[in-house]
């Protein structure tokens, strides 16, 4: 049984995956109603981590959050569709921009893009063993994701299905693979339009940072009904690093590391170290040393981190580190 949807990528680090199975207390917003994807009061907050930067700043690493919400309806054929918009939450945000329209019919969520092309976005009636098909970018090859298991979580006191998809055997790059998890009525843990937003879903770079999107919060009428356990807040806008990154007089090895990391500055002199996680939080502080430090990081979760070294002369060097 095949269902055409789009590309889906994995959950990334253990830290970011820990929020998938969060149970939700009843908020009494709509009584005991089942959450539906096309609820007019629905809001999705989606954090994008994009370390790869661009031509002007190739070493940029940061996380920014955008809001997806409905604003008005539109008539397509004889049916009323919700108009979805997106708006950044950082800087001088422009006016919300229209990204398409959705309509839920039973367990099927349909999506009409800005050109009027209609396709299935979600099928919340999938069963274990069912597959959905998608095209691999840049080729005519088709692959499938299989529903591995179906769990449930409570939203407003009502059980909603949680679909766990297996990893695909097809690699989009050498460092990434395809997978996904859906929450009935809410959508993908990568964001409401994740099945259609392949370019934002590159999910895992073993030797850098995860470059991906994550649903941080889902709310209705201002009440948060689901929050990702990997984020302390629904909105996260952090710049980790700009300018020189990994092109500095700094050695950190072995990388990847099993927990012990040697840090050296060939130029010599005293320095201090700290480690930040992908959300920009300091998770390790080292003592002041001269020329070299041996860091014991075994208490930290596996995943990517940013090492910052500050010299006595107030210079800061940075390098990407992977803990296994």
Per-residue model confidence as pLDDT tens digits over 85-134: 999 998 676 789 999 999 999 999 999 999 999 989 999 999 999 987 76
| CA–CA–CA angle 66, 72, 73 (5° rounding) | 120
Residue range 281-288: mean pLDDT, rounded: 84
Instruction: Provide mean pLDDT across the span 22-36.
Output: 53
Domain assignments of the chain as residue spans, ordered by start: 14-240, 244-323
Q: Does residue 247 or residue 267 have the better pLDDT? A: 267
Q: Which residues of 207-231 are buried (b: 16+ CB within 10 A; e: fewer)?
A: ebbbbbbbbbbbbbeeeebbbbebb
Q: What is the pLDDT of residues 173-221, one digit of tens each?
A: 444 456 678 999 999 988 999 887 655 444 443 333 445 678 999 999 9
pTM (predicted TM-score): 0.64
Q: Give me the count of residues in the chain.
A: 324
Q: Average pLDDT for residues 36-40, to the nearest whole number?
A: 96
Q: Which CATH class is domain 244-323?
A: mainly beta
Is-contact 198 137, C-beta < 8 A? yes
The answer to whether 20 and 188 are in contact (CB under 8 A) is no
């Amino acid at each position: 049984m095949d269902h055409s949807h789009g590309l889906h990528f994995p959950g990334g680090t253990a830290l970011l995956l820990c929020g998938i199975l969060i149970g939700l207390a009843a908020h009494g917003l709509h009584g005991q109603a089942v959450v539906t994807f096309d609820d007019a009061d629905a809001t999705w907050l989606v954090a994008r981590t994009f370390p790869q930067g661009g031509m002007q700043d190739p070493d940029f690493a940061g996380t920014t959050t955008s809001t997806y919400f409905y604003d008005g309806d539109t008539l397509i054929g004889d049916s009323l569709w919700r108009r979805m918009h997106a708006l950044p939450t950082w800087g001088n945000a422009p006016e919300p921009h229209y990204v398409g329209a959705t309509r839920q019919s039973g367990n099927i969520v349909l999506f009409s893009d800005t050109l009027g092309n209609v396709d299935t976005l979600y099928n919340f009636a999938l069963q274990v063993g069912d597959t959905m098909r998608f095209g691999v970018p840049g080729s005519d090859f088709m692959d499938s994701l299989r529903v591995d298991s179906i769990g449930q979580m409570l939203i407003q006191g009502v059980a909603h299905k949680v679909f766990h998809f297996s990893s695909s055997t097809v690699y989009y790059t050498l460092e990434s693979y395809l997978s996904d998890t859906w929450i009935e009525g809410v959508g993908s843990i990568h964001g409401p339009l994740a099945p259609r937003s392949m370019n934002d879903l590159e999910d895992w770079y073993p030797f850098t940072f995860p470059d991906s999107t994550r649903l941080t919060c889902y709310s209705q009428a201002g009440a948060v009904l689901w929050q990702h356990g990997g984020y302390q807040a629904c909105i996260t806008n952090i710049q980790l690093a700009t300018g020189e990154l990994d092109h500095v007089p700094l050695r950190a090895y072995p990388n990847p590391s099993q927990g012990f990391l040697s840090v050296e500055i060939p130029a010599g002199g005293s320095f201090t170290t700290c480690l930040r996680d992908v959300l920009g939080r300091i998770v390790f502080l080292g003592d002041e040393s001269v020329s070299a430090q041996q860091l014991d990081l075994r208490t930290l979760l596996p995943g990517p981190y940013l090492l910052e070294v500050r010299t006595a002369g107030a210079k800061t060097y940075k390098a990407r580190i992977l803990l296994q």
